[in-house]
A = this chain, B = another copy of it.
């Protein structure tokens, strides 16, 4: 039985992944140095493709780390001396706060009920000046998204704070306005359909200034993947230490492939499918977890399956269709369905998935 993944991450691998891996091996890229011209060209190509795909402004730099979790720690080391504030409405955005606490930072969490929208009242809780404010554009644990307008309002509230936005399950199809942020990051195994093991950190030079200032004041900014070293090597498309070269290559190939595939059509398709799924489940007893339509994630559809969770999961599994269970405390109460590019390329399987759910209405 062939397995078809509608999991929210690690998600379905991008369909051409085998082909791209073979090209990687045949070209000898698996054995090149990250100080070679070949690697520099690869880095530049991936950088170019990501910029075009995600509308990354020219002044931001694009760095590669091991995972989004690693990037949480890097952001804190490099840009915070004393105070950070973390907006959280789910487990992943909460974990960023926990990382800050573990590093001894005086960190504040502004927490909303899972699945609910942040509004201006939450912004009023920003009572003292923070060095860093973080939020998650699309919470993979609950399927709630945040609007660019809200991020913009947050920035206006504290113009001197650095803003870091989690784009983990938002990229590559949700439109994020980088003008509202100083940093953004994502991992490869969600919307891009890569194997795990690469995180992408998109950074404005304002953050480098902050890292230098922290150093100048006698604080450590860590030793591995520091912004001064990353920026220095980025100026000629190198990396301070050996990166995940396969990840850099696959990310570039997939970004180029998505760009060629008519991105606007793909974004429309993501919206059409998610609209369909939300209205489909709205009419059922398996109602969407997120009630407010404006903040329902187009990439991560979370439904309340409650005591049917395990039986529906197993029934789908028996048909080779794999979805994600709920996250954390919702493990046995939710199912989560991914709506990433690789899923949008599955037609028959998507119809089978919908049909299978109909039996439980």
A198 at the interface (CB under 8 A from B): yes
* Contact digits for A192-218, partner B, Cβ 8 Å, 1 yes 0 no: 000111100000000000000000000
Q: Is A114 an interface residue (CB 8 A)?
A: no
Q: Which single residue of chain B is at the shortest CB-CB distance from A100?
A: B223
Stretch from A7-15, A53-61, A175-183 at the B interface: A7-15
Quote the shortest CB–CB distance from A318 to chain B (angstroms): 15
Whether the Cβ atoms of A223 and B102 lie closer than 8 Å is: yes
- Do A197 and B31 contact each other (CB < 8 Å), given the known contacts A70-B66, A103-B223? no
> In the assembled complex, which residues on chain B have CB atoms less than 8 Å from the CB atom of A69?
224, 241-242
This protein's copies in its complex:
2
Which residues of B have CB within 8 Å of A100?
Answer: 223
A285 interface contact, C-beta 8 A: no
Number of contacting residues on A, CB 8 A?
55
A237-254 at interface with B (beta carbon < 8 Å): 241-247
Q: A73-B224, A99-B223, A224-B99 are in contact. Are A187 and B242 (CB under 8 A)?
A: yes
- How many angstroms between the C-alpha atoms of A100 and B224 in the bound complex? 10
Report the 8 A-B pairs with minimum CB-CB distance, sorted nearest first: A66-B66, A197-B244, A99-B223, A102-B223, A69-B241, A195-B246, A5-B31, A13-B30
Given contacts A18-B22, A67-B242, A73-B223, 14 further A-B contacts (CB under 8 A): A10-B32, A10-B33, A13-B25, A13-B31, A17-B25, A34-B196, A69-B241, A69-B242, A99-B224, A102-B222, A102-B223, A103-B220, A197-B197, A197-B246
